[in-house]
Amino acid sequence: MAKITFIQHNGNEITADGIAGMTVMETAVKNQVPGIDADCGGACACATCHVYIEPDWVAKTGKRNPMEEDMLDFAFDVRDNSRLSCQIKVSDALDGLRVKVPEKQF
Amino acid sequence: MSDVITTDVVIIGAGPCGLFTVFELGLLDIKCHVLDILDRPGGQCAELYPEKPIYDIPALPLVTGADLTSRLMEQAAPFKPQFHFNQMVTSLEKRGDTDFVLKTDGDLVFNCKVVVIAAGGGSFMPKKPPIPGIDAYEGKSVFYSVKKMEAFRDKDVLIVGGGDSALDWVNNLQPITNSMTLLHRRDEFRAAPDSVNKMRELVAAGKMKLAIGQVTGLGGANGILSSATVKGADGAFFDVICNTMLPFFGLTMKLGPVADWGLNLTENLIAVDTEKFETNVPGIFAVGDINTYPGKLKLILSGFHEAALMAQQAFRYINPGERLLFQYTTSSTNLQKKLGVA
């Protein structure tokens, strides 16, 4: 189990229990985190689960994979710490992970 | 006004459930016209994940979205469905006691007895970048598709994106524009290597510009663009002079006009019963991801089941008073004839 905190654009925080093996996107959807639309259901095909990883966690969540890098072309306001949350698997090492949800997924 | 197309059933959506609906209705001798906003069949299977494997279609341990679509097209083919692509249904109204009139944004008009909404997650529409104030420019100097190339003649065009749509239009429009700039967030492109090479040749020949960065703001007045403000890869801001912008950020699904047809909706899904998968309006059915009922699962296989049951009730509307005989394709010569195998 890993606690994952989603920080909304308005500053509100939602902390959810992530289950190892699930993705950060699935954790968000399961806990009805606003702003994680996940239109394609986790196929890395829509870029509507875009999040910004908080600085302390960038190294632990790892790098974008090539498919994800391509798909981020469909996201808005992509930054160095942008990831697609469907491509981050929850593990005990990510207990305490904090990610910001963009203002809009468009 | 164009000629009215009269048919038994109009199916809205050519995704897997819409295609299988053609098959189930076809077995009951019901003819269909199928409409889709995309330019090809398959729906999400074609647009979102054509190459990705699907593992939960009964009897197909692994099938890609593209392959599933082509198999369903093959299965529906004996019933000669008529497809109308690039059509968004804009209105659906009841006419008289038994008919519906349905209009599309491509000026097609249908008259039918039964409507089946198999629209999945809704209509695929271009993603609109959430740039502040972009609404004021849409349709005047910001466009999400190219309907007529001539509209871009002698313009200062900024195309945003790195996929095939962006690169194709850069290469096709560049010869007729006054100036062409391609803006992408990184100096790598998903588009076909041929198109990327062609674009790079145009840049090398000084015929167009390539800028790396992301649009953050627009400048102009009365809906006419004069520049776009771009945040470069190094974080510095710069302006691109342009009077026309074409952003290509892919497609997203929106419920669209379905919301205005007087159907009972639950959280943007169409409420149906679980016997006939009919909406609150008799004669309008909804199958697949777009419907909801207690226990609903958004699985392709559930949509197939819904199509089979819905077809029974559709038969009753189209052939009032006629008895519907239940038959198996394995043993019924009648059904096998329809399938062209007997």
Domain boundary residue among B215, B249, B283?
B249
List CB contacts (< 8 A) between A48 and chain B: 252
Work out how many domains chain B is built from and give that number.
2
**B residues 140-159 lying closer than 8 A (beta carbon) to A:** none
Same domain flag for B34 and B88: yes
Same domain flag for B215 and B292: no
pLDDT digits over B206-238, tens only?
999 999 999 999 999 999 999 999 999 889 999
Q: How far apart are the C-alpha atoms of B314 and B291, rounded to whole Å?
A: 17
Q: Taking CA atoms, what residue in B is nearest to A68? A: B190
Percent of chain A scored above 70 by pLDDT?
A: 99
Same domain flag for B223 and B82: no
Q: How far apart are the C-alpha atoms of B149 and B176, rounded to whole Å?
A: 9
pLDDT at B2: 66
Cβ pair A43:B161 closer than 8 A: no
Cβ pair B130:A70 closer than 8 A: no
- Other C-beta atoms closer than 10 Å to the C-beta of B342 total 10
Same domain flag for B119 and B188: no
Res. A37 pLDDT band, cuts 50 70 90: confident
List CB contacts (< 8 A) between A47 and chain B: 250
Helix axes B16-27, B300-318, angle to 10 degrees: 40
pLDDT digits over B68-113, tens only?
999 999 999 999 999 999 999 999 999 988 899 999 999 999 999 9
Same domain flag for B59 and B43: yes
Q: How far apart are the C-alpha atoms of A75 and A6, rounded to whole Å?
A: 18
Q: Which residue has the tokens 């952003």?
A: B247
How is chain A split into domains, by residue range? 2-100
Residue B303 has pLDDT above 80, yes or no: yes
User: Is B121 at the interface with chain A, CB within 8 A?
Assistant: yes
List CB contacts (< 8 A) between A43 and chain B: 48-49, 52
- Per-residue exposure over A58-90, b if at least 16 CB sit within 10 Å of its own CB, e if not: eeebeebeeebbbbbbbbbbbeeebbbbbbbeb
User: Is A87 at the interface with chain B, CB within 8 A?
Assistant: no
Q: Which residues pair with B34 in a beta bridge?
A: B11, B83
Domain boundary residue among B187, B222, B249?
B249
Determine the 3-state secondary structure of B265 from DSSP. strand
Cβ pair B253:A74 closer than 8 A: no
Cβ pair A40:B48 closer than 8 A: yes
Instruction: Provide the edge-to-edge strand list for the sheet that holds A82-84.
Output: A13-18, A2-7, A97-100, A50-53, A82-84
Task: Give B318's contacts (C-beta < 8 A, 6+ positions apart).
Answer: B8, B9, B30, B113, B114
- Range of the structural domain that residue B197 is part of: 128-249
pLDDT digits over B161-198, tens only?
999 999 999 999 999 999 999 999 999 999 999 999 99
At residue B75, φ and ψ (nearest 5 deg) are -65, -35
Percent of chain A scored above 90 by pLDDT?
A: 72
Same domain flag for B256 and B233: no
Same domain flag for B197 and B271: no
User: Is B190 at the interface with chain A, CB within 8 A?
Assistant: yes
Torsion over CA: B66, B69, B75, B79 (sign): negative
Number of continuous H segments (helices) and E segments (strands) in chain A: 3, 5
Same domain flag for B109 and B257: yes
pLDDT digits over B99-154, tens only?
999 999 999 999 999 999 999 988 888 888 889 899 999 999 999 988 889 999 99
User: Is A74 at the interface with chain B, CB within 8 A?
Assistant: yes
Cβ pair A39:B129 closer than 8 A: no
CATH of the domain at B99: 3.50.50.60
pLDDT at B49: 80
Residue A106 has pLDDT above 70, yes or no: no
DSSP A56: G
User: What CATH number was assigned to the domain covering residues A2-100?
Assistant: 3.10.20.30
User: Is A79 at the interface with chain B, CB within 8 A?
Assistant: no
ipTM above 0.90, yes or no: no
pLDDT at B286: 98
Res. B251 pLDDT band, cuts 50 70 90: confident
Same domain flag for B168 and B265: no
Q: With a threshold of 0.80, does the pTM exceed it?
A: no
